[in-house]
Amino acid sequence: MNKTTKYIDALSLTEAEKSALPDSSLRAVHEALDTEHQTFERDDDTPLASVKARLEQNWPDSLAGDQLIKDDEGRTQLQAMPKAKRSSMFPDPWRTNPIGRFWDRLRGRDVTPRYVSRLTKEEQEHEQKWRTTGSIRRYILLILTLAQTVVATWYMKTILPYQGWAFINPVDMVGQDLWVSFMQLLPYLLQSGILVLFAVLFCWVSAGFWTALMGFLQLLIGRDKYSISASTVGDEALNPEHRTALIMPICNEDVDRVFAGLRATWESVKATGQQKHFDVYILSDSYNPDICVAEQKAWMELIAEVQGEGQIFYRRRRRRVKRKSGNIDDFCRRWGSEYSYMVVLDADSVMSGECLTNLVRLMEANPNAGIIQSSPRASGMDTLYARCQQFATRVYGPLFTAGLHFWQLGESHYWGHNAIIRVKPFIEHCALAPLPGDGNFAGSILSHDFVEAALMRRAGWGVWIAYDLPGSYEELPPNLLDELKRDRRWCQGNLMNFRLFLVKGMHPVHRAVFLTGVMSYLSAPLWFLFLALSTALQVVHALTEPQYFLQPRQLFPVWPQWRPELAIALFASTMVLLFLPKLLSIILVWCKGPKEYGGFIRVTISLLLEVLFSVLLAPVRMLFHTVFVVSAFLGWEVVWNSPQRDDDSTPWGEAFMRHGSQLLLGLVWAVGMAWLDLRFLFWLAPIVFSLILSPFVSVISSRSTIGLRTKRWKLFLIPEEYNTPKVLADTDAYLQLNRNRTLEDGFMHAVFNPSYNALATAMATARHRASHVLEIARDRHVEQALNETPDKLNRDRRLVLLSDPVTMARMHYRVWAAPEKYTSWVDEYSKLAINPLAMKAK
C-alpha cells in the first residue's frame, strides 16, 4: 500500500467512493475531491481544495447550506457564527477619588445624572414602594447587627483578665523605665487589639445570622410580597420580538462536560416548544490547541444531534482581552443588538427549559429589571468533599439566598452565571474600564459580576434574585485544593473591587456588596490575628508577673480576673450565631418533608457530619485565605501547578506539600499551649487539631469511592439525587456518550487525520491576504515545526499553526507526502492511543 492509498483509506468514504479516487499522487486525490476545480501552484496547498468535500464526508448533518463560504483568497471557510451587527460598547474611566470629584464640582464640571426614568407613573410608584421597603429593612438590619455587636463586645471586655483600663495614664509613665512601662501596657495593648478584632468579626457573623434568620421566616411562611417570581404565572406567551441568547464563555474546560450540559439544556428548551426564541453561543477563549480541536469536533456533533443549524454557534477568540468579561463584551459588540436578553452560562451550568422561559417571562413582566439572577443548585459530583458541599449548599443555601433577597430586593447580587440580563442597558452601562494605576490592584477587573450589577443599578435598572425559581444547576469543585485555587482568583478580584467603593453613583447596597466581598477573605487574616493575639495574651498572663499597680499613688492592686460564667455565655451565644442557621435549615427540611434528603434520621446524621466537616475545614481555609490576602497586598504570585488526578483525588504528596506548613503550625501551637496551660489548649483544640489533620482530611475527602459509598448509604443526599430532574439525567447520559468518543491529542489529529484537518482548516481564524512576506513566514513556521519532534513544539507555536488554514493544509500534505522525511511526527502519531469512536463522526 503506497502513501496515496493509505491516505485514501483514511478518508471517510465508502469502499466504492475510495476506489473511484486516483492513487497516483496526493495532489490528484485532493483535486479529484474538489468539485469546484480550483488550481494551486504548490502541491502542499492542494488540501485547501478538498476541505469542503472532506467536511461533507464526515459531518453531513452538521452543515447548513450557507455555512461553507469562500474567504477573500478563495479558501473554504466554515461560518460558525452569524454575520456581526456591531454595536458601540465602551467603558467610562473610573473616578475612584472623591476629593477629585469634589474639586470638579467646585469648578462647575459635575457629571450628568445617569438615572433616566423609563417607567410609567404606576411603575414608578411600584418601584418607589419596594425601594422604600428595602431601605427600611436595611436600616433594621444595621441596627440589629450593631446592637448585637456592641453587647457582645461589652461582654468580651468584661471577661478579659486585665481590668485596669481606668488606671492607664501615659503621663505617669513618662519618668519610668521603658521596659517597665512596656510590660504594664502590653496586656492592655493585646486586649485592645483582641476587642477590635472581636467586634469586626462578630459584626460579620451577626450580619450572616440575621440574613439566614429572615430567609428562614420567608421560606417557612411561603409568601413573599416582593418576590419577582410572583410577577408571572409561568404560562404567558413569549414575545416573538424579544429574542434571547444563551451564551457560554469557556476557556480550556472539560469539553465533554461542557457540551453534555449544553445539549441537555438545549433539548430541554426544545421540549418547551419555545426554541425559536433562543440561540446558543459558545464563546471560547481556549488556548490549548488539543482542547480547541476537541471543541470544534464537539460543536459539529452537537449541531448534528440536536438539529441546531443556524441556532447553535461557536467562536474562538484569537485575542483574549479581559478574560471572561471581555469575551461577553465582545459578544455584545458583535451580536448583542440582535437580542433583547442574554443568559450567561458557566462551563458547568445546566438549566431547564422551564427555568429559561420563566426568566424571559420575568424580564417581560418587569420592564425595569436589568438582571435577574436564578439560584443555581449544586449537583452532579461524587467525591466526599463535593457531596458534603452539595448537601450544605442545598440545605443552607436557600436560607441565605432568600435572606439576601429580603434585605436587598431589587438592589441585589449577580453571580456571573445562570442569570438573565437585559442586553441594551448592559451594553450602555456595564462595560468595564481597567482600574487605574499600577500594582497588584490595577488593571482588568477580575470579579466582574459584582461590578456589572453595581453599574446596572447605578443606571437605574433593578437587579433581582429569583431565589424560588427551580431548574438552575451548577457543579462544585471536587476537592479542597481545587476550591482553594478558585478562591485564590476570587480573593484577588474582590480586593480589586473594593477600589470601587467610593465611585460616584454607586448604590449603598452595592458599596456594601464590595465590602462583604472583601470581608469574605479579609475575615481570615483577622481571625488568624485574633487567635494569635489571644495566644500572646495567654503567654503574657502565664509567663510574666502581673502589674498590680499601674499608678504611683494607687492604693489598691488590680488583680487579673477570670469570669468563666461570662466566657461560657459569650461562647454559647457565638455558637448560636454560627450554628443556628444550620439548625433552622434542617428544621425547614423536616417541616417540608425530609424524604428527598434520605429521611429524618439520615438527613440529621448528614447535618451532624457536615458540621464536623466544616469545623475541620474552617481553620484550613483560614490559613490559606490569609496567605492569599497577604500575597495579594505584597504582590506575590501564588502558583498552583497541580498534577492530573484520577477521579479528581488529591495525591498524598501534593496534600503534604500544600498542608505541611499547617500541620507543623498546628503541632507547634498545640505543644506550646499544652506546656503553657492545658486549659487554653482546650479552647484552641478545634483549631490546632484541624490543622494537624488537614492533609489527611484533604486526601480522604477527595476520594470519589468514599463519596459514592455515602451516596449508597443515603448520606448527604439531595433532592436532585433522590429524584433526578430530566435535564440532569440527560446531562449524565450525554457526558457518558461524550466520554466514550472523546478526542485526545486534537492537534496531532488536526495535522494527520483528513477529517479533523479539514475541520481545523475551515475554522481557522487567521484569514490573511496573500503576500510574499506572509508566505516566507508560513514556510518558516511549517519547516521549523516539522523538523522538530512534536514534543518540542510548544503550545503557543501550535496555536499559531492551528489558527492559519494554509499552515494546517501544508503540514497535512507534507506528513502524508513525505513520511520518511518527517519520521518523528509519523512515529509520534502512530504511538497515540486512538479512540475509534472519536474517528467516526458520521
Per-residue pLDDT, averaged over 256-281, amounts to 96
Which of the pair, 836 or 451, is modelled with greater confidence? Answer: 451
pLDDT score recorded for residue 769:
81
Per-residue pLDDT, averaged over 245-254, amounts to 95
Per-residue pLDDT, averaged over 481-494, amounts to 91
pLDDT score recorded for residue 478:
92
Per-residue pLDDT, averaged over 566-576, amounts to 77
The pLDDT tens digits for 167-221 are: 556 655 556 666 666 666 677 788 888 899 999 999 999 999 999 999 999 999 8
pTM of the complete model = 0.90
Per-residue pLDDT, averaged over 619-631, amounts to 94
Q: State the amino acid at position 533 in one-letter form.
A: L
pLDDT score recorded for residue 676:
79
pLDDT score recorded for residue 455:
93
Backbone conformation region of residue 506, classed left if phi is above 0, alpha if psi is from -120 to 50, else beta: beta
User: Is the Cβ–Cβ distance between 403 and 212 less than 8 Å?
Assistant: yes
pLDDT score recorded for residue 546:
60
The helix (run of H) or strand (run of E) holding residue 840 is: none
**Whether residue 591 has pLDDT greater than 70:** yes
The pLDDT tens digits for 37-78 are: 888 888 888 999 999 989 988 888 888 767 888 888 888 889
pLDDT score recorded for residue 841:
53
pLDDT score recorded for residue 755:
92
Residue 551 CB contacts under 8 Å (≥ 6 apart), including other chains:
167, 169, 172
pLDDT score recorded for residue 457:
93
Backbone φ, ψ for residue 84 (5° rounding): -70, 140
Sign of the CA dihedral running 538, 539, 543, 549 = negative
The pLDDT tens digits for 663-679 are: 999 999 999 888 877 87
What percent of the chain shows pLDDT beyond 90? 55
Query: In Å, how far from its chain's centre is CA 446?
Result: 11
- CB neighbourhood size of 362 (10 A): 22
Query: In Å, how far from its chain's centre is CA 292?
Result: 21
- The DSSP output letter for 703 is -
For cell 519547516, the residue is 783
Backbone φ, ψ for residue 465 (5° rounding): -110, 120
**What burial class does residue 117 get, using C-beta atoms within 10 Å of its C-beta: 0-12 exposed, 13-18 middle, 19+ buried?**
exposed
The pLDDT tens digits for 784-809 are: 999 999 989 999 999 999 999 999 99
Nearest-angstrom CA–CA distance, 822 and 810: 13
Which of the four pLDDT bands, split at 50, 70 and 90, describes residue 644?
very low
Per-residue pLDDT, averaged over 497-505, amounts to 88
The pLDDT tens digits for 385-443 are: 999 999 999 999 999 999 999 999 989 989 999 999 999 999 999 999 988 888 888 88
Which strands form 244-250's sheet, in the order they lie side by side? Answer: 312-316, 278-284, 244-250, 341-344, 419-422, 369-374, 462-466
pLDDT score recorded for residue 561:
60
Which of the four pLDDT bands, split at 50, 70 and 90, describes residue 454?
very high
Which of the four pLDDT bands, split at 50, 70 and 90, describes residue 661?
very high
pLDDT score recorded for residue 243:
95
Nearest-angstrom CA–CA distance, 364 and 344: 18
Mean pLDDT over the full length of the chain? 87
pLDDT score recorded for residue 645:
44
User: Is the Cβ–Cβ distance between 679 and 711 less than 8 Å?
Assistant: no
The pLDDT tens digits for 105-150 are: 555 544 444 444 566 777 777 788 888 999 999 999 999 999 999 9
What percent of the chain shows pLDDT beyond 70? 88
Please choose, from the candidates 218, 585, 265, the residue with its C-alpha nearest in 3D space to the C-alpha of residue 418: 265
Q: State the amino acid at position 177 in one-letter form.
A: D
pLDDT score recorded for residue 67:
84
Which of the four pLDDT bands, split at 50, 70 and 90, describes residue 641?
very low
Which of the four pLDDT bands, split at 50, 70 and 90, describes residue 3?
confident
Per-residue pLDDT, averaged over 545-557, amounts to 54
CB neighbour burial string for 441-462, b if at least 16 within 10 angstroms, e if fewer: beeebbbbbbbbbbbbbbbbbb
